[in-house]
Amino acid sequence: MTVNERRSRAIFDLLFSSPQWNFSGSLPMALDPKFGAMLAMPGAQLERPPADVTPAMMREGVRLRASPLPPVPVDEVKNIRIAGPAGAINVRLYYPISVRPLPLTVFMHGGGWVLCDLGSHDNLCRSLALASNSVVAAVEYRLAPETKFPGPLEDCYAALTLLVARAASLGIDASRIAVSGDSSGGNLAAALALLSRKRKGPSICFQALMFPVMDASCSTASYVEFGQGYMISREIMQWFWECYLLNPSDAQNPLAAPLRESTLVGLPSASISTCEFDVLRDEGEAYADALREAGVSVISRRYLGMIHGFMTLPYVTEVADRAIADIGGDLAGALYRPR
């Protein structure tokens, strides 16, 4: 067993063998206590990195700290490469069952547009494919700051259009398409729906957004309340935006900050999931409200006691699997609705 594996096992054992925790410090009692030990660990809080720490170094740190979990079994996993605006893009397809064709859910991973990859979200995508009974296509878009807005979004749009064009050979039903993503991936999913509407691209019937990044102001009440101590800080979110945006004026562009879009009429129905203890909570819920005001059907859920990214932490909380089942049900309801 490697050092990293031993460390991950120690974390796992700590989280599941210490039921007698007593939080008398700054952590609110409403926070799920299973997160307490994790948040107290050195390095658990994501802060703005020092000047001598590069994004590449941060990515390697995230990769090394990932907890090794057995892959959730699905019928088939297929890795393909498609042409993107600046070279080939890796896409990983998860088929939940052997039946073909199946509806398609295009998935964008989170990580502040800077961190994470196909591997970091592999099990989430496997679980989402099973829960939605759709082919989940995870897109390995180019990362910031090496590639700034709108580069990552253009990669996702290229993936969407080419997956639809190759639908027959990939066992996909091109008439039933959804987009999804978590955090910055939720931002890209929402922006993808906007961009496809603008360009009259593939018809998207649903968008499943998990604790999405919707605005660059970083000034909501949830930013004030949870800006420190809950893994994702206000400072790291500001840094992520600095990495992603090419110009400060891009913060007003709805394709970068979907909450800035003034015309939401006609967008796909949506499921928006937020976490009670998350700086991004209020902007995700504001986007749900704005969609409703525009006449778009929206399911919104706030998961009480949860922190940002909890759906990728099934070894910490059983709520992760329940939330994925909720979102998968939302997707299936939209993708399998009679036409």
Q: Among all chains, which residue has been given the structure tokens 């090496």?
A: 146
Amino acid at 5: E
CB 110 within 8 A of CB 184: yes
Known catalytic residue at 308: yes
Does 26 qualify as catalytic in the annotation? no
In order of 25, 26, 76, 95, 305, the CA distances from 29 in angstroms are: 10, 9, 42, 40, 9
Question: Rounded to an integer, what distance in angstroms lies between the CA atom of residue 235 and that of residue 49?
Answer: 9
3-class state of residue 181 by DSSP: strand
What tokens were used for 86?
A: 């600046």
Closest to 185 measured CA to CA, from 309, 46, 39, 26: 309
Q: Which of 155, 215, 278, 330 is catalytic?
A: 278
Contact 195, 201 (CB under 8 A): yes
233 given a catalytic annotation: no
Phi/psi at 135 (5° precision): -75, 120
Q: Are strands 172-182 and 206-210 parallel, antiparallel or unpaired?
A: parallel
Length of the chain: 339
User: CA 85, CA 268: separation in Å to the nearest integer?
Assistant: 25
The catalytic position among 8, 180, 183, 196 is 183
Q: Which of 121, 308, 326, 330 is catalytic?
A: 308
Question: Residue holding tokens 């562009």?
Answer: 253
Q: Which residues are catalytic?
A: 183, 278, 308
